[in-house]
Amino acid sequence: MNTPDQAIVAAVLAGDRDSFGALVERYQHRLFGLVLMMVRDPGGAEDVAQDTFVRAFSRLGAYDTARPFYPWLAAIAVRLAQNWLRQRGSIVRREGAQLDDTIAPGAMPLSLDTLITDEESRELWRAVSALSSGERTTVTLCYRDGLPVRDIALALGVTTGTVKTLLFRARRHLRERLTSSGMFNRELQP
């Protein structure tokens, strides 16, 4: 039987540090996928995801147990991923464009190709990678992680109206890209 997140948090706060491993085990793949979708670099995603869990542990006392755990964790991940992207951007600006080859819009890092073997999934990753940072994060939190608009707004630090606008734009860009690729086109069954 799965122990509720809140019970694990209570155990960790009571001094049982190893209980936190259960939360890491439970959310590592989901969180890694979210961060990977945001930073589009497997090495960077691993660093950011690790930092997220470490920071979550060190600030566990600030977690409101009345709310679900994952949106709180995702909010930390989003902030750290944004910092990572900002730092990466400044390095690229300082040291030239060659570093940006792996994260050019629409492109996908080579190492990511090895993580995703299914061609349809790969095309979908490319389409999501081509979205702007805000659209990409919103669409990932909404569809892949299934978070409600309110939780996404809290994670991103924006209003629910902004989230809805980002979702609208993301859906449009995804539809245009996926329709033009032809891979997902099929006759609609009414």
Partner 1 sequence: MTCRHVLDQIDAETVVDERLDLLSAVPVHALTCPTCAVALGVSRDTPARLRALATVSAPPAFQTSVMARIARLEDAAPITAHEPASADWKLWPAAACLVLGILLIALALSLSPVGPRPWHMRISPAATTQSLATVAALLVGLVCYAIGLFTPIARRRRS
- CA 163, 164, 170: angle at the middle one, nearest 5? 85
- CA separation for the pair 54, 161 (Å, rounded): 31
Contact 35, 48 (CB under 8 A): yes
From the list 142, 137, 143, the residue with the least C-alpha distance to 84 is 137
Residues 41-80 that bind partner 1 (CB under 8 A): 46, 49-50, 53-54, 57-62
- What is the C-alpha R_g of the chain? 18
Question: Which among 90-98, 99-107, 130-138, 178-186 is the span making contact with partner 1, rule CB under 8 A?
Answer: 178-186
Q: Is 186 in the site for partner 1 (CB under 8 A)?
A: yes
Among 5, 8, 20, 70, binds partner 1 (CB under 8 A): 20
The first and second tokens of residue 34, run together, are: 């979210």
Summarize as ranges the residues that interact with partner 1 (CB under 8 A). 12-14, 17-18, 20-21, 24-25, 28-33, 36, 46, 49-50, 53-54, 57-62, 115-116, 120-121, 124-125, 128, 139-140, 143-144, 146, 168, 171-172, 174-175, 178-179, 184-188, 190
